Structure 1
Amino acid sequence: MRRVKMEKYQLKEREIMAVALPNAVSAMVHIVPVMFGMMFMTEYLGISAAAMGTAMLVTKLLDYVVAIFAGSIIEKTHSKKYGKYALWMRITTFTLFFSSLLQLVDTSGFIAAPIGRLIFVSIFYCGLHFGMNFRATSQGGLIQRMAGPSMEIRKRMNARQAQVNAAVTIVSGAITIPLIGYFATKFGAANGYAITLILFGALFLVLSLTMLFPVMKKYDRPRESAEVANTPTVGQMFKSIISNKQMIFMFFMITSMTVGTQIFTPLLAYYFKVVTGNLSVMTLLLTIQGIGAFLFSLVAPAIAKKLGKKGALIFSAALSITCYLGIWLFGLNHVWALVAFACLIKGSDAIYRCFAINYFLDCGEYGYYTTGQDNRTMALTVMNWPIKIGFLAGGAAVGYGLALIGYTAGMEVTSVFANKFMVLFGLLPAVLFLVTLLLAIFAYKLTDEQAEFYATENNKREAALKGTL
């Protein structure tokens, strides 16, 4: 298939940054409940690990149901004022902030029963993650709107987002725990989390209002009623996914990867607070990890470009497997080994992130080209499904896994418990990434050249259809 030059599709760097920076800062907001939420429930709200695991299982099942239908809802929603994706980006800006905050409010003073506190947290957990279904799909759609069919601009936007994310991670890694500790001394140990999140959330809202929203208005214009009416039915959207073999393979690859990551991430806090008994060292890890992630993000685009999409996926999975095995074998007795492997995991993730959204966009372009139905929004929704399954299965595995190995709040850590913890912490994620590696080697078939050809032809088809409405 021939390559098509895309000179007419250009974006200014400030426009790319107007999307990348607010999205990166949004991670500072929602990562706080993701990283500390489980520990907050067990340590400050008096909720047992088993009850937490059950709540995570139920809420994440509900979350997954919402994720299934998010794309069809976006496709069928009509606004005279905002574009298809811009509308949901606006809505979820506010649900992201307030739902993250309210998960970390100390309710022990006004909700007496632990089950009541658990229900309160679960409601706002759902608010955050339900909204993230729509936000993640809309972020991918916005990239498609801004870049058009240009694979180079799509790669550039993905790479720049990864670089800005890494830079912001350095800052957040260095200041999050110190801020939590500082506010804890002023307002009580359990209140430091919420006050820190308010600061991060205020920055996120300002950047969204002044940078992200104006760019969305320019590139994602409101649709006409006829255009909305012409979208595929919900049944056709789901059929387009089931019949798209490359989408099915991509779904299973990223699901395995995400479950492994979502087991490892919340257990970091337990590793430092419970197993090693030194939560303050986590600040050092997050700072070093953030610096490493930023440095990796600078070189990752060149590496990813040389490897191609399939090669980048294979390399990233193989490196992650090596790192998680290293954490399992050496992390218990050698904290610096854990730090080194955690940094390399960020490196592998930086390479994957160069194409993260593009993988699903490519599958959507392939489906549109082969069927004639534009279900790219649905393809981007499928991108959310592995994330939701990752939170569901990973969160449940953490809760039940901790209960299974005998964790209780304030327990005395024994060598037997510590070794079992490291199996959960390192070996299990390695096994899950192995599934990703095998599927990437033997099942994923779309080439970069094919993806570019499909996107170009689909762009022509879309323009022609709009001209007939």
Structure 2
Amino acid sequence: METTQRERFSYYGYSFGQIMIYMILTSFLQIYMTDIAIPAATVGTILLIARVLDAVYDPFFGIIVNKSKWKTGKYTPWLRISTFLIAGLTILLFAVPASLDLWVKILLAAGLYIIWGMCYTLCDVPYFSLVTVMTGSVTERNTILSRGRLFSLIGTAIIASLFPLAYPKTGWFWGVFIFTVLSFAVMTPLGRVAKERHPVTEEAPSLLALLKAVGRNKYLLVFCLAFMVANITNTILTVNGYFAIYCLGGPEMISITMTVPMLFAAVFCALVPAIIKKVDKFDLYMVATAVGVVSSIVMYLAGYSNFTLYMVLSTIRIVAVTYTSSFMILFVVDCAEYGRYKTGEDSTAVTVSLQTFTAKALGALSAALGMFILGLSGFVDGADAVQPPAVLDTLWILVSILPAAGLIVSFFILLFGYKLRDRDVQIMSKVNQKLLSREAAETMLSRKY
């Protein structure tokens, strides 16, 4: 391996800390907002506006990163700056007093969340792009990214298991403060120890050239389209906390319903690096998508009165969907390699920013969709609210059958549209590193690209 053990563990630590902050925001911020008496439909509007704005400026930030020329590297300086910002803003977001007038709370929560999203972008694009310059080996890159995703799942499991038990006792502010400080501590080292061994030596292309390069990257566009379709109906993360509280019995059920599946998902993801050395990761992706569809349909038909059966089906689905969502970055990085091979332009940061744009735009739409539907079903805000039967029925639809709709369409988009494979990407990478001639590569590729 080209990277040192210290670098790799710093990368994994960043994955661990970043996902804890992300999970607190995506899984619990909406609950916090309705607890301080902001109506559900208004919360949906805040999430939609903030995340759409966040998604819109992602590609522009990707261009800035791609053309940046820091003395200490292209990506690591951004990580050092952003780690401080997102930690501080996360704490401030959960410090909005419930006693304020409604419109003051709305404006304060919306403003802080919009700024938080901008600062989160400062870490997201450089973090995912960094691995492409840490090592020139696609195999090592896949291993680092896969294990990084494993540490993300461990961080997710910790938030899922401990945070729902902590915040009712500590209060929202101190619960968030404790976990944010932990996240900050494990995220800080990466920006200082990572080495950018394979910097792009060519002159940075123009903005127009970068946009054209991404626009001509057909496999990137196909994969992002499929990912968008798969996740636009994925309202699970947004409403699972409400489902656990109001349908299953209380905040402590958030811990059970999230932790158990995530532990199994972590075990599976720990095996992913070994699996994709023998099986193309695209084939694994397609199998996981199919399993996600089938388990969602069976879950809906079976209901949740049998809690054991519900947990088994939920675990199967989460293991499958976790692979399709967490390992998207492996495919995006492959698409960046393909794009450089085809056009000669390195647009890695812009390519990665398109991935983050896609993920954030979908997060905005799916979160807003879930909250709008809850609002229309008659959801009652307030920490001690009792929900009518229509809300309970709606929550079940949102966590069971609705997510399957997007997965079905996504499966067929990828089946007919995405042809990039691991072996060919490794060959393209050697050409991009000038270790292999283009003429020789053309004879080695499995198909004409």
Tell me how far 1:384 sits from its aligned partner: 0.6
Output the aligned Cα RMSD: 2.5
More off after superposition, 341-350 vs 243-252: 341-350
1:67 maps onto 2:55 in alignment: no
Tell me how far 1:350 sits from its aligned partner: 4.9
Matches within 5 A, 1:20-169: 20-44=12-36, 46-80=37-71, 82-109=72-99, 112-148=100-136, 150-169=137-156
Q: Is the 1:304–1:351 Cα contact (8 Å) retained in structure 2?
A: no
More off after superposition, 427-436 vs 21-30: 21-30
Residues 386-408 of structure 1: per-residue CA shift (max 9 Å, x gap): 21111210121012111222222
Aligned in 2, Cα 1:220/1:330: closer, same or farther, shift over 3 Å?
Answer: farther
Residues 249-288 of structure 1: per-residue CA shift (max 9 Å, x gap): 0111222233344x11021111011233322122222332
Structure 1 runs of 4+ with >6 Å offset: 220-223
Corresponding residue of 2:405? 431
AA in 2 matched with 1:329: L
AA in 2 matched with 1:138: P
Tell me how far 1:355 sits from its aligned partner: 4.3
AA in 1 matched with 2:214: I
More off after superposition, 264-273 vs 157-166: 157-166
SS of 1:406 mapped into structure 2: coil
SS of 2:412 mapped into structure 1: helix
Q: Is the 1:75–1:377 Cα contact (8 Å) retained in structure 2?
A: yes
Residues 131-157 of structure 1: per-residue CA shift (max 9 Å, x gap): 333322212211111121x11101110
SS of 2:401 mapped into structure 1: helix
Tell me how far 1:416 sits from its aligned partner: 4.0
Residues 337-378 of structure 1: per-residue CA shift (max 9 Å, x gap): 332233223322454468432211111111111111111221
> Please, which of 198, 205, 208 is the counterpart of residue 187 of structure 2?
208
Task: Tell me the TM-score normalized by structure 1.
Answer: 0.86
Distance in 2, matches of 1:365 and 1:281, equals 43
More off after superposition, 66-75 vs 317-326: 317-326
Q: Is the 1:79–1:222 Cα contact (8 Å) retained in structure 2?
A: no
Q: Where does the alignment leave 5 or more consecutive residues of structure 2 unmatched?
A: 437-449
Task: Tell me the TM-score normalized by structure 2.
Answer: 0.89
Tell me how far 1:91 sits from its aligned partner: 1.8
Corresponding residue of 2:227? 254
Aligned in 2, Cα 1:122/1:327: closer, same or farther, shift over 3 Å?
Answer: farther
Corresponding residue of 1:5? none
Matches within 5 A, 1:43-442: 43-44=35-36, 46-80=37-71, 82-109=72-99, 112-148=100-136, 150-183=137-170, 192-209=171-188, 211-216=189-194, 218-219=195-196, 230-261=203-234, 263-352=235-324, 355-409=327-381, 412-442=386-416
Q: Is the 2:6–2:193 Cα contact (8 Å) retained in structure 1?
A: no
Distance in 1, matches of 2:299 and 2:396, equals 8
Q: Is the 2:51–2:361 Cα contact (8 Å) retained in structure 1?
A: yes
> Please, which of 3, 11, 18 is the counterpart of residue 11 of structure 1?
3
- The structure whose residues are more often helix, as a share, is 1
SS of 1:276 mapped into structure 2: coil
Distance in 1, matches of 2:389 and 2:169, equals 32
Q: Where does the alignment leave 5 or more consecutive residues of structure 1 unmatched?
A: 1-8, 184-191, 463-469
Aligned in 2, Cα 1:355/1:231: closer, same or farther, shift over 3 Å?
Answer: same
Distance in 2, matches of 1:205 and 1:417, equals 37
1:450 maps onto 2:424 in alignment: yes
AA in 1 matched with 2:190: L
